[in-house]
Every structure is written in structure tokens, then in C-alpha cells.
Amino acid sequence: MYKSLYVAFFSALVFSFITATVAEPIPQAAPVFHCGGPNNLVCPTGFVCCGPFIEGVGGTCHRSGTVCPL
């Protein structure tokens, strides 16, 4: 009697794990804009240039209104 209940519960559990795994979005890397550096690159509109400035690369652009990371 309880065997069919266990089978139904286990099947529902496995189904929920499979559907949750399939529904996961694929992470994609956000573009990184560099500024300054040897080519004096500028940030796109709406971004500010933040350090640390790496020699040969420059800094990185972050959205305006956010705090520059250290």
C-alpha cells in the first residue's frame, strides 16, 4: 500500500530536481571595459574609470553612481 506512495513521492522528487537543473540559466560573462592605460581609452557613456590602474592595461569602467572597488 505504501510502496506506491513512496514510488510516487520519489518520482516527483527526481522530476523536480531534473526540471530545476534544466531550467538553470547559463551564466555569461559581462563585458569588461578598460580605460586609461597606454592607449588613453575612455569609458562608454554612463560609466566612470576606476582603479587600480594596472600597468599596460589601465583601469576598469564601472557604472556611474556606483562606488569604485578597491
Q: What's the pLDDT tens digit per position in 6-56?
A: 788 888 888 877 777 776 677 777 788 999 988 889 999 999 999 888 888
Calpha distance 52→30 (Å, rounded):
19
Domain-wise residue ranges, the chain: 2-63
Start-to-end CA span in the chain (Å): 63
Instruction: Report pLDDT for 49.
Output: 93
